[in-house]
Homo-oligomer: A and B are copies of this chain.
């Protein structure tokens, strides 16, 4: 059924090694023979077996990508960026979703190793949790690049956004507009980005004298539903902050939904800012002021870093992307 170089060799009447050389553009085959071989290979519908080539050369041409959830546009866009750098060089992406579950993460990491991927791009689930496995990846000599999040103490390349600076812009902007109290819808507390963004918020608020009451920090669980619940809870309090900081794109959807259901208006009833831009932020009514990461760019950079490691054994490199502040109309001047 499947045609191999052996079949071609037989058909042409030469040795397999000659076929291999001819098909791979290696020197040492007469042009005439090469032509004949490629032609026959073509008409026999030959398709080289990468698993065999991979086994022989130790190169699979495949890259493992570990992300929390491909359905999150933020990560989907990152992946697209990665594809843009890897496709042109003949690499393909093996996709694994962790669902923010350390067990899935571990399992996926293992399979990626077994699949002998040439490199791994990962947005780790928790900081620290699977340190052992990432270490193992590195020990196995598999180039590893983190994106969006990192695992402390794992010495490898990464590209993350400057979360602190982004948060600072947001909070300072609120402060400039006269806000002195703030509510926060947070990411999963154990997540790297979650901690960084929350700590950043707390720090800047303290600096500027902005009040965050205890009850005003609500766990949005990184997703739409969680944020919906959190927002409803916040809005049920008698005493409310004048502004709300939503810590990612997906949660913004939940917050908007909650406000819609409660017939609250932005920014009249409360001002809202968001970390992350997304398809929808600019089309909401009113459009949401936010700091935008550039997911595609992040994917591009991460992929480039990894490729550099694979091809030229590149040194570790830490990239911090800036988050861009985008002023829109969701904040009231007080």
Contact = CB atoms under 8 A, between A and B. Distances in A.
Find the residue from A71, A97, A256 having the highest chain B CB count within 10 A: A71
A110 to B, nearest CB: 7
Interface stretch (A41-49, A188-196, A207-215): A41-49
A1 B136 CA distance: 12
A49 B45 contact: no
A60 B70 contact: no
Contacts of A38: none
Interface residues of A, number: 57
B280 A260 contact: no
A70 B2 CA distance: 31
A139 B282 CA distance: 48
Contacts of A51: 51, 54-55, 60, 115-116
A158 to B, nearest CB: 22
A62 interface: yes
A193 to B, nearest CB: 20
Given A45-B136, A76-B73, A94 B97 contact: no
A18 interface: no
Interface in A141-166: 141
Contacts of A60: 51
Given A1-B141, A47-B110, A95-B92, A115 B62 contact: yes
A253 B287 CA distance: 13
B93 A95 contact: yes
Contacts of A92: 94-96, 111, 115
Given A47-B140, A69-B80, A87-B104, 14 more contacts: A2-B140, A45-B139, A47-B114, A50-B115, A51-B51, A52-B55, A55-B55, A65-B95, A71-B79, A72-B76, A76-B76, A257-B282, A257-B283, A279-B279
11 contacts: A49-B55, A49-B116, A70-B70, A71-B76, A87-B96, A92-B115, A93-B95, A94-B95, A253-B279, A260-B283, A285-B285
Interface of A: 1-2, 45, 47-52, 54-55, 60-62, 65, 69-73, 76-77, 79-80, 83, 87, 90, 92-97, 104, 110-111, 113-116, 136, 139-141, 224, 253, 256-257, 260, 279-280, 282-285, 287, 296
What 8 A-B pairs are tightest by C-beta distance, nearest first? Answer: A285-B285, A76-B76, A280-B280, A71-B80, A51-B54, A50-B114, A256-B283, A51-B55
